[in-house]
């Protein structure tokens, strides 16, 4: 099955992912895979005042991403 959205990871987000523990990297990968299928899942929060910017949390991690047409740009992992 092909994902309807293409996910790009910003260089800063890639650095942040590499710095995570293996367990947390796996959580991020699963979340990104899920976002590629549905970028606006229940619980995802639209960031007010920013067009197309969303926040999704899992455990103590927060992902900030932007949705543009059929592409998701992962900007930040905190």
Per-domain boundaries in the chain: 6-77
DSSP 43-66: T-EEPTTSTTEEEEEETTEEEEEE
pLDDT digit string, tens, across residues 28-70: 999 999 999 999 888 889 999 888 899 988 888 889 999 988 8
CATH of region 6-77, choose from 3.30.470.20, 3.40.605.10, 3.40.640.10, 3.30.2310.20: 3.30.2310.20
Question: What was the pLDDT predicted at 52?
Answer: 87
Instruction: For residues 7 and 53, give the distance between their C-alpha atoms in angstroms, rounded to a whole number.
Output: 14
Q: What's the whole-model pTM score?
A: 0.85
Tokens, residue 70: 């059929």
Q: What backbone torsions phi and psi does residue 33 show, to the nearest 5 degrees?
A: -60, -40
Instruction: For residues 34 and 11, give the distance between their C-alpha atoms in angstroms, rounded to a whole number.
Output: 21
Give me the numbers of helices (H) and strands (E) for the chain, helices first please: 2, 5
């Amino acid at each position: 099955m092909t994902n309807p959205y293409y996910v790009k990871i910003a260089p800063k987000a890639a650095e942040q992912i590499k710095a995570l523990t293996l367990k947390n990297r796996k959580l991020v990968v699963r979340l990104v895979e899920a976002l590629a299928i549905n970028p606006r899942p229940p619980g995802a929060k639209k960031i007010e005042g920013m067009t197309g910017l969303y926040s999704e949390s899992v455990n103590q991690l927060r992902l900030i991403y932007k949705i543009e047409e059929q592409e998701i740009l992962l900007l930040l992992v905190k």
